[in-house]
Amino acid sequence: MKVKQLKLGPMDNFSYLVWDEDTKDAAVLDPAWQPEKLLAAVKSEGLKLHCVLLTHGHPDHINAVEAVSVAPGLPVYLHEADYFMLEHRPAGLKTVADGEQVQAGSLKLGVLHTPGHTPGSVCYTAPGAVFTGDTLFIGECGRVDLPGSSPEALYDSFVRLAALPDDAAVYPGHSYNGDTSTIGVQKEYNLYLKLARQGRRADFLKAVL
Ligand SMILES: [Fe+2]
């Protein structure tokens, strides 16, 4: 599997292209801000895009969905608990649920429902990687003071993330404090993941608020 991280737009958002190196079957995660840059990368790498995967429904992660999905008629995956924040539903919208595998041609990504930042936040997993959206940043966690946010749910989600393999690369939804890390390193140096790993719920809730 190969990953291309693209930092786009005024809020240091990351969009990702993920693909199977043998077949070039690919998915695009959180297409936003500068679809021309994403599409140029698809072309230069010779990728076959199969679907759009959304980590959550905030506009800064989805505002280029239709620019990449409509013409080729791609399915657009978003957990339905975030549908309420869509101004309108893009064509091809499909829900994802915890534990599902999303197929992008020969590429398969797992779905981990990780509510907290938003009720429908998900992380996508692949061998050796996890795409964490606005749930887990390098050294930080996502905001929980927004409509639909829940600090308690974020704690449970962090407990789940702390159980992922230490060598899994972390690919966050924004370039805050860094661009990538591993679950093992974040378990040591990310206060929130450390508290979740240690089962310190009360301290976690105090720290996020
Ligand atoms: Fe967000």
In order along its 209 residues, the chain shows pLDDT tens digits of 999 999 999 999 999 999 999 999 999 999 999 999 999 999 999 999 999 999 999 999 999 999 999 999 999 999 999 999 999 999 999 999 999 999 999 999 999 999 999 999 999 999 999 999 999 999 999 999 999 999 999 999 999 999 999 999 999 999 999 999 999 999 999 999 999 999 999 999 999 98
Beta bridge partners of 131: 124, 171
CA of residue 135 to ligand 1 center, whole Å: 8
Question: Whole-angstrom Cα distance, residue 202 to residue 191?
Answer: 13
Is 96 buried (19+), middle (13-18) or exposed (0-12) by CB count in 10 A?
A: buried
pLDDT recorded at residue 98: 98
CA of residue 117 to ligand 1 center, whole Å: 7
Answer whether 62's CB lies under 8 Å from 31's CB. Answer: yes
CA of residue 142 to ligand 1 center, whole Å: 7
CA of residue 155 to ligand 1 center, whole Å: 17
Is 73 buried (19+), middle (13-18) or exposed (0-12) by CB count in 10 A?
A: exposed
The tally of CA atoms less than 13 A away on the side-chain side of residue 117 is: 21
Q: Which residues are catalytic?
A: 56, 58, 60-61, 117, 134, 174
Structure tokens at 128: 């050796």
198-156-11 Cα angle (round to 5): 100
CA of residue 202 to ligand 1 center, whole Å: 24
The reported pTM is 0.98
Question: Which CATH number is correct for 2-208, 3.40.50.12160, 3.40.1360.10, 3.60.15.10, 3.40.1480.10?
Answer: 3.60.15.10
What DSSP line would sit under 23-91, residue for residue? T-EEEEES--S-HHHHHHHHHHHT-EEEEEE-S---HHHHTTHHHHHTTTT--EE--GGGGGG-SSPPT
CA of residue 174 to ligand 1 center, whole Å: 9
Q: Report DSSP state, residue 168.
A: P
CA of residue 136 to ligand 1 center, whole Å: 11
Strand pairing category for 76-77 and 93-94 = parallel
Question: Whole-angstrom Cα distance, residue 106 to residue 21?
Answer: 10
pLDDT recorded at residue 209: 86
